[in-house]
């Protein structure tokens, strides 16, 4: 089976200094990380992101909903920001609600429009989403942002074989067009979003599985100052496997 094409991307908040630092690390495609305060000042945040797109010629592929208790309010604000800036994907993830819940999924699907894709992210320690949970939400029509660190933590906490479940998920042809983005980071039992190589995941093994079946964008969801280093580590592994990295 031919290896796929993977685009590595970074992550930043609507802050020009932070954006400049991430661009200096050699990244040109990004997901936006939000706090509620960014959406409380929505017009200012939108202008910063639009200016960054013009100034640095970067691509903003997705925006992540903030982890705030007023989930529905900030979800709608995130949609508004996405439309203003021209961001095609909203990653819906929350510490306060289960985004895989049937009622929530039904509401999301009813609220979608042609200008933006709303995708849900599998949870970590707080909300355990197994292989079966992810496949179930995809079978109900939702697109998914697959978070590998969360998946690792869930497999560890439930005694499952991470690499076996990873292969089952990505090799299933029914899932191939449902995984829209990947959040990529390292993890240990109780901590996620570590720089690649600082946790317990065997990245050569994990990437050899993913790269056979997935073609798309992989967001490096690691500490800001480690995004460039993690990009180099992943690029080296993908190059060794002759995976095209756009």
Which H helix or E strand runs over 158?
helix 148-158
Please give the residue range of the domain that contains residue 205: 5-245
**CB atoms near residue 29 (< 10 Å):** 17
**3-state SS assignment for residue 94:** coil
Are 222 and 12 contacting, i.e. CB atoms less than 8 angstroms apart?
no
**Residue 42's Cα: distance from chain center in Å?**
22
Long-range contacts of 38-45 (CB under 8 A, 24+ apart): 38/13, 38/14, 38/66, 39/66, 39/74, 39/77, 39/78, 39/81, 42/77, 42/80, 42/81, 42/84, 44/14, 45/14, 45/81
Q: What is the pLDDT at residue 114?
A: 72
Q: What is the pLDDT at residue 1?
A: 46
Token readout for 70 is 């007023």
| CA-based torsion, 133, 139, 142, 146: positive or negative | positive
Q: What is the pLDDT at residue 62?
A: 98
Q: What CATH number does residue 21 fall under? A: 3.20.20.150
The domain total for the chain is 1
Residue showing tokens 């496997």: 241
**Residue 134's Cα: distance from chain center in Å?**
14
Cβ burial of 98 (10 Å; 0-12, 13-18, 19+) is middle
- pLDDT tens digits for the chain (246 residues)? 445 689 999 999 999 999 999 999 999 999 999 999 999 999 999 999 999 999 999 999 999 999 999 999 999 999 999 999 999 999 999 999 999 999 998 888 877 677 899 999 999 777 889 999 999 999 999 999 999 999 999 999 889 999 999 999 999 999 989 999 999 999 987 788 899 999 999 999 999 999 999 999 999 999 999 999 999 999 999 999 877 676
């Amino acid at each position: 089976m031919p290896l796929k094409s993977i685009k590595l991307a970074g992550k930043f908040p609507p802050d020009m200094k932070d954006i400049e630092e991430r661009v200096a690390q050699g990244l040109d495609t990004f997901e936006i990380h939000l706090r509620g305060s960014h959406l409380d000042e929505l017009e200012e945040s939108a202008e910063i992101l639009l200016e960054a797109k013009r100034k640095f010629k970067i691509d903003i592929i997705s925006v992540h909903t903030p982890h705030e208790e007023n989930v529905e309010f900030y979800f709608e604000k995130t949609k508004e920001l996405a439309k203003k800036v021209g961001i095609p994907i909203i990653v819906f993830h929350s510490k306060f609600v289960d985004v895989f819940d049937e009622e929530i999924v039904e509401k999301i699907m009813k609220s979608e429009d042609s200008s933006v894709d709303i995708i849900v992210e599998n949870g970590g320690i707080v909300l355990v989403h197994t292989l079966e949970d992810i496949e179930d939400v995809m079978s109900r029509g939702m697109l998914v942002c697959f978070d590998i660190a969360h998946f690792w933590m869930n497999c560890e906490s439930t005694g499952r074989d991470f690499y076996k479940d990873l292969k089952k998920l990505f090799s299933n042809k029914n899932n191939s067009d449902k995984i829209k983005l990947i959040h990529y980071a390292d993890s240990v039992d109780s901590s996620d979003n570590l720089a690649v190589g600082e946790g317990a995941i065997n990245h050569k093994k994990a990437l050899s599985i993913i790269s056979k079946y997935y073609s798309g964008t992989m967001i490096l969801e690691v500490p800001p100052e480690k995004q460039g280093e993690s990009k180099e580590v992943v690029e080296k592994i993908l190059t060794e496997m002759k995976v095209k990295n756009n």
